[in-house]
Amino acid sequence: MPKITPFLWFNDTAYEAAQFYLSLFPHSSITEHQQKPDGTTFTLTILLDGREFQTLNGGTLYAMNSAVSFMIHCKDQAEGDHFDDAFCDGGTEQACGWVVDRFGVTWQVVPLQLFEVLSNPDPAKAKRANEAAMGMKKLIVADLLNA
C-alpha cells in the first residue's frame, strides 16, 4: 500500500498545534520544519506516537471541519481522560466522545471497551450500550459497561 499521510491546514498556528500534540502523544517529534523567509513556520512534518502528519500554515483559504476526524483508541478511562481533558481545554466537547480542539481539529476519544459493548452478542445489551454512548459527550467506561 502506498504511504498515506494526513495533511492538516492551519491558518497560522501549525507550530503551536504541533507543540500541543507532541505534548500529548508519547514517542512524538518534529521531523521536518520548513520556514518562510520571515522565519515563521510554513510546514512541519510531525510524528505522533510514530504516525506521520504534515501540517501547513496556509492562511484562511480553507478551514478545519469535522468531516475528517482522528480516532484515538484508548486502553482505559484514564487514557481517555488524558486526551479528552487536553482537547477540551479551549476546545469543544461533542457527542459520543468527539472533541474539536482549540485548533479546529476533530478527535474521537474512544475507549476500547466501547467496541466490546457494541459488539455484545446479546442485541439488547448492544443496543443499550449504543444508546448510552450516544447520550454521552465524554465516554465513561463504567457507564458503558453498566448499560
Cβ atoms of 47 and 6 closer than 8 Å: no
CA dist 112 and 27 (Å) reads 21
Give 99's strand partners. Answer: 93, 107
pLDDT of residue 74: 96
Residue 2 pLDDT grade (very low, low, confident, very high; cuts 50, 70, 90): confident
pLDDT of residue 57: 97
Cβ atoms of 9 and 62 closer than 8 Å: yes
- pLDDT, tens digit, for every residue of 42-101? 999 999 999 999 999 999 999 999 999 999 999 999 999 999 999 999 999 999 999 999
pLDDT > 90? residue 39: yes
Residues of the chain with CATH 3.10.180.10: 1-59, 68-147
Q: Which CATH superfamily is domain 68-147 in?
A: 2,3-Dihydroxybiphenyl 1,2-Dioxygenase, domain 1 (3.10.180.10)
Residue 147 pLDDT grade (very low, low, confident, very high; cuts 50, 70, 90): confident
CATH code of the domain occupying 1-59: 3.10.180.10
Over residues 19-42, the mean pLDDT reads 97
pLDDT > 90? residue 124: yes
**Residues 63, 14, 102, 78, Cα dihedral to 10°:** 130
**Cell numbers standing for residue 115:** 467496541
pLDDT of residue 1: 78
Of 99, 106, 100, 103, which is closest to residue 80 (Cα–Cα)? Answer: 99
Residue 18 pLDDT grade (very low, low, confident, very high; cuts 50, 70, 90): very high
- pLDDT, tens digit, for every residue of 99-121? 999 999 999 999 999 999 999 99
